[in-house]
Amino acid sequence: MRSPRRCSRNGCPRQAVATLTYVYNESTAVVGPLAAFAEPHTYDLCEPHARSLTAPRGWEVVRHEGEFEPPPPTTDDLVALAEAVREAARPAPRPPDEADVDPHTGQQTGRRGHLRVIPPSY
């Protein structure tokens, strides 16, 4: 299952809720809501890091004034969850027992419920 995007700050385990982008030619750091996709040259931040970000002297910080909310689940997340549930519901493979061995050839036979698959004899 795909994990949610995490804060880009070293050692921070929190979920990202904001994206930091630098506009170098204007000496500006922009902190806004989390971008739909992770892009090169942008940084995902958790709420505490997004709120406390400072910029170098001479730079301006433009910060989103509203609430930073976690992103809604994507279809990828929902598909991954459905696959995990489907995998957990699968019956565990059972080890072969003596009834799965052909008494004439001694070969293993496949078994599904009350049916038996007997390998062809050549």
pTM score, two decimals?
0.55
Determine contact, residues 12/52, Cβ cutoff 8 Å. Answer: no
Please identify every stretch of the chain with a pLDDT value under 50, giving residue numbers as ranges: 1-2
Query: By CB neighbour count within 10 A (0-12 exposed, 13-18 middle, 19+ buried), where does 98 fall?
Result: exposed
* Whole-number pLDDT of residue 2: 47
* Whole-number pLDDT of residue 31: 94
Rounded Cα gap, residues 93 and 14, in angstroms: 38
